[in-house]
Amino acid sequence: MNTRRWMSIAVCLGILLLSGRVFGETIYVHSRIAPLMAGPDLASGKLGELELGSKLEADRLQNGWYHVVSDGKSGWVNRLMVKKYPPVKEKGDQLMGRQHLARRARIRPSSLASTAAARGLRAERNRYNMRLKADYKALEKMESFRVTPQDARCFVMKGSQNVSGQ
């Protein structure tokens, strides 16, 4: 009897300790929208939508879906759309960060040589640079076609938006 009791205790302890990877994990939504589903698949009914940065408590992982609780509502969210750390807050124009990065990078300029060498970025040949000139005018034109997340959301949800207008 004692042996059985010890074995039961050991198995229970093992399960508890090993399952610590999932139980009680805090996860964050990293996509702009993450559907909260009634079950761990896309055929289940959609209970709602979670927004970017939503903090969730996951109690289990099944077939690539986390079972989570959000605002008292429980459901399943796709593992693809969440990570275990909060997303970065956007700072408007993402390119504004370049000067900041430049300052940070210049703290250790001597690291460039080793970085570039380690990454295999030495000047071995130059055929793409010779062949391809940058066309920023065309790029700006392409950027003018960007749509807002709100427009994109309407387009997905309605599925019948007039697409011919610009």
Partner 1 sequence: MCQGNKPVSALVVMVMVIGLAARADCGRQRINVIAKEQEAPADWQTEAWFGRKLAARILGSIPLCDCPAANRYLNLVGSGLALYAPAPGAVFTFGILDSEKVNAYATPGGYIFVTKGAILRMRNEAELAAVLGHEIAHVSCHHMVKSLGLNRHQDSAVGGMAVLVGGTTGSFRQAISQGLEKGLEILFDTGYSRKQELEADRIGMQLAVTAGYRKDGLVNFLKRIHGFEASAAEDDRSHPTWKVRLQQLEASMDGLHQDPGPGQTREERFNEAFAQLFDSDIGDEHNRSSR
Q: Least distance in Å: CB of 38 to partner 1?
A: 12
- Three-state secondary structure call for residue 16: helix
Q: Which of residues 71 and 125 has its CB atom nearest to partner 1 in the complex?
A: 125
| Residues numbered 109-148 forming contacts with partner 1, rule: CB under 8 A | 109, 111-113, 115-116, 118-129, 131-136, 138-139, 141-143, 145-147
Q: Is 52 in the site for partner 1 (CB under 8 A)?
A: yes
Q: How far is C-alpha 115 from the chain's CA centre? A: 27
87 CB neighbour count, 10 Å cutoff: 15
Q: Please spell the DSSP secondary structure of 89-106, one letter per residue.
A: PP-SSGGGHHHHHHHHHH
Within residues 72-91, the interface with partner 1 by CB under 8 A covers 78, 80-88, 90-91
Q: Is 1 in the site for partner 1 (CB under 8 A)?
A: no
Whole-number Å distance between alpha carbons of 24 and 26: 6
Segment (H or E) for 38 = none
Q: Which of 38, 55, 74, 98 binds partner 1 (CB under 8 A)?
A: 98
